[in-house]
Amino acid sequence: MITPHLLPQIITAIVVVMENNAEEVTQLDQVIGDGDHVTNLQRGLQALVLQQDELSLLDWPKAWQKIGMTLMSSVGGASGSLYATLFMALSKASTEKAISLPSFATAFAEAIEAVKKRGKSEAGEKTLLDVYIPVANYLLSVAPTKPVFNVVLTEVSDVAIKGMESTRTMLATKGRASFLEARSLGHIDAGAKTAQLMICTIADVLSKSLATPA
């Protein structure tokens, strides 16, 4: 069962993957942004590390809420308010204490809608949404026919990687990268890269834990 007891493992794995990719993400954000994206996220992750034991004892709606509030006060930058919105909306849309794929898919899609509103952005604008929107759509599309998580985790990672790659040829129309206009073409968006890294890491931790049930 997927419960918040997995959060410490997930948070630790994301800390490691961000550390390993920090240089690459910083370079991406230096080309079309201001270079602080990974350090913004790392500040949030450090705040979550301090809370991870407490988080692991909550139910999902309360855990999402606490994560959202913590990210709101620690991350900063455009990505800070977007991630805070994502988790707070996920909390509002989640009613179940343990996650099933159909209920998570619906709640996640609602959370992504909230992020779109918050950022006043849509798919195709060269942002982290170009990873999250396809992932949300994919989860919604498979939930009725493949209602268990382990079946879809590999495909979720593939969808995230494809979304991240798709930002390379997009023209940025939101965030700092939009100031560059056509010069934003040919570069992957830093926020899309970290979104992909986080999704692949979560999928990886979940696959391992579902393969070896406690």
Q: Would you list the DSSP string of 26-92?
A: HHHHHHHS-S-HHHHHHHHHHHHHHHHHHHHTS-HHHHHHHHHHHHHHHT-HHHHHHHHHHHHHHHH
d(CA 7, CA 66): 12
Q: How far is residue 182 CA from its own chain's centroid?
A: 27
Give Cα separations from 110 to 91, 133, 196, 214 (angstroms).
Answer: 10, 11, 19, 31
34 binds ligand ADP (CB under 6 A): yes
Residue 92: which of 106, 109, 73, 111 has the closest Cα?
A: 111
119 binds Mg ion (CB under 5 A): no
Q: How far is residue 211 CA from its own chain's centroid?
A: 23
Q: Which of 105, 156, 192, 198 binds ligand ADP (CB under 6 A)?
A: 192
Binding mask 23-62 for Mg ion (x = CB under 5 A): ----------xx-xx-------------------------
Binding mask 147-186 for ligand ADP (x = CB under 6 A): ---------------------------xxx----------
Q: Which is nearer to ligand ADP, 143 or 192 (CB)?
A: 192
Q: Which is nearer to ligand ADP, 37 or 66 (CB)?
A: 37
Which amino acid belongs to residue 10? I
129 binds ligand ADP (CB under 6 A): yes
Q: Which of 42, 79, 85, 201 binds ligand ADP (CB under 6 A)?
A: 79
36 binds ligand ADP (CB under 6 A): yes
> Which residue in this structure is represented by tokens 């630790």?
12
- Tokens at residue 211, please? 């393969």
Smallest separation, CB 166 to ligand ADP (Å)? 13
82 binds ligand ADP (CB under 6 A): yes
Binding residues (CB under 5 A) for Mg ion: these are: 33-34, 36-37
Q: Which residues of this protein are in contact with ligand ADP, per CB under 6 A?
A: 29, 33-34, 36-37, 40, 77-79, 82, 119-121, 127-129, 174-176, 189-192
